[in-house]
Amino acid sequence: MRNCLVIDLDRCSGCDGCVAACKLENNVDLGVCYNRVHAVGPTGTFPDIEQYWIPLQCQQCENPGCIEVCPTGASYRDEATGVVLVNAEECIGCESCLKGCPYNVRTLNPNTNVVEKCTLCFQRHEEEDWVPACVHNCCCGARYFGDLDDPDSSAAKAVAAAGAENCHQLDDPHGLKPATVYILSAATAAWQGDPRDDGPRVRIVSPRAATRPGRPNPSQGLPGRGGASKPGVEKQRERGVTMMETQTCAGLVSALEGRAAFYDVVAALYYKPLAQEQIDHIAEGGLAAFAGAGELMAEGLHDMERALSKRHSGTRQELAVDFTGAFAGTSSWKGRYATPYESVFTSEEGLLFQDSYHEVYRLYRQNSVRKSPGYDFPDDHLSYLCEFQALLASRAVRALETNDAECALEQVRLSQHVLHDHILSWFDDFEELALHLVKTRFYRGVLKMSKGFFLFDAEVLADMAEELERL
């Protein structure tokens, strides 16, 4: 028996209806997600562009790696239905199963310290017409459910109708045999494999790429980052830096590179709980080089390092709980959540997807920036805004390297706009609320450091603009 999902990507519109249905049916906590929809692409050259959306959830593998590595037997397969499940009473939150699953579809719930995942709405399995909520609520009719070994099931019929050449499964380097089938015809797009890998597709902004705070990550692919200073511009502008003193140019480039590196750091700090490598890097003074950028910033960095000076085996878990409580919306203060979205703090209702979100969305599109597959937050998340700042700094560096001072000034002016109108305009309110929610000295230091850095950067950008205007 192979009860699983079959998802027709020719039909999927990426609407996230399946995500919402899953959360409602399973009463999923805020900040926890069993199902995510990733954009794959765009790829190609205009007008021959391809893009599709692929939902990722538990693949219901035939040889689940999560079960094999679970030390308590909490991860198991139901014999009657074949569904891979988690026994909450036996789960100790060790996260071994997360490492045993290559598809990143399991989540540790910080509120319960129990791993959770898609169960195909197992609570319904005794119903005669058992269908997962995501299938029932798919507005595009892109989802099918059933036993692939039963030719009369809707899942098996969908696979048979699509034809073997249009049926795909995620990469399986470990022999886990994922059961979920994705239907994608060549008329829609070429199958790109696992949307989470770093293959040949277009790489776009993703704070997830900032793996080591304090160091620029050359693998972070942003449109224009490290490439042309402006898409479609082949001819260098007449106004250049030919009259610029070498020392001045080198100083500007160094300052811009430092800004890009530290904005990557801030993006990583607000994107998700830190990995052990990141914690160790900070504790060992990995951010010390930035301590001279203002008194408030230095105080924040000091608090962060001091908080980690006596780190132990449980430090990572403590920080993860603090992060999710404060920034992922699992805790509140007087009914308010410190989720770091501009809309939440600039709209009267305190809601997502308000005017500021649309302003940011248009700003990104005007500057040829799109989110990477796997980046699941709305566009006005603080981590994404910081990555955008890092991108603009890198574009300015490239412009100076190609003697285009005018383009460099444009990037600096745009950075000023983003900083003043889309970060500093709401960060004080966010910080004030978040300080009521964070429990650790580390994240109090992060908030202090961030504010200090943003204020310091405002001064740096003003000086840069003056220098570039004189060229």
Q: Are strands 3-8 and 143-147 parallel, antiparallel or unpaired?
A: antiparallel
> Which residues of the chain register pLDDT less than 70?
46, 193-249, 291-293, 372-375, 471
Nearest 5°: the CA angle 376, 143, 40 is 40
76 class by beta-carbon count within 10 Å (0-12 exposed, 13-18 middle, 19+ buried): middle
9 class by beta-carbon count within 10 Å (0-12 exposed, 13-18 middle, 19+ buried): buried
Structural domain harbouring 347: 207-469
CA-only gyration radius of the chain, Å: 24
For residues 102 and 220, membership in a common domain is answered with: no
Q: Cα separation of 76 and 21, whole Å? A: 25
For residues 215 and 146, membership in a common domain is answered with: no
Q: Which residues contact 152 (CB under 8 A, 6 or more apart)?
A: none
Distances, alpha carbon 305 to alpha carbons 317, 362, 392, 431, in Å: 17, 38, 29, 20
For residues 158 and 266, membership in a common domain is answered with: no
Count of domains forming the chain: 2
Q: Which residues contact 337 (CB under 8 A, 6 or more apart)?
A: 30, 329, 331, 344
Domain holding 465: CATH number? 1.10.3480.10
Domain holding 64: CATH number? 3.30.70.20
Show which of 149, 183, 217 is a domain's final residue: 183
For residues 371 and 236, membership in a common domain is answered with: yes
pLDDT tens digit string along 244-302?
344 456 778 888 988 998 999 999 999 999 999 999 989 988 887 776 667 899 899 99
Q: Cα separation of 383 and 272, whole Å? A: 9
For residues 289 and 372, membership in a common domain is answered with: yes
For residues 240 and 158, membership in a common domain is answered with: no
Put simply, whether the predicted model's pTM sits higher than 0.75 gets the answer no
User: What is the model's pLDDT at position 194?
Assistant: 60
- The pair of structure tokens assigned to 316 is 């990572």
Q: Enter the DSSP assignment of 289.
A: G
User: What is the model's pLDDT at position 248?
Assistant: 58
Nearest 5°: the CA angle 221, 225, 229 is 150
User: What is the model's pLDDT at position 195?
Assistant: 60
For residues 281 and 405, membership in a common domain is answered with: yes
For residues 211 and 79, membership in a common domain is answered with: no
Q: Cα separation of 356 and 251, whole Å? A: 34
User: What is the model's pLDDT at position 239?
Assistant: 33
For residues 265 and 410, membership in a common domain is answered with: yes
Show which of 183, 216, 241 is a domain's final residue: 183
For residues 152 and 247, membership in a common domain is answered with: no
- Residue 194: inside a domain: no
For residues 389 and 273, membership in a common domain is answered with: yes
Q: Cα separation of 22 and 19, whole Å? A: 5
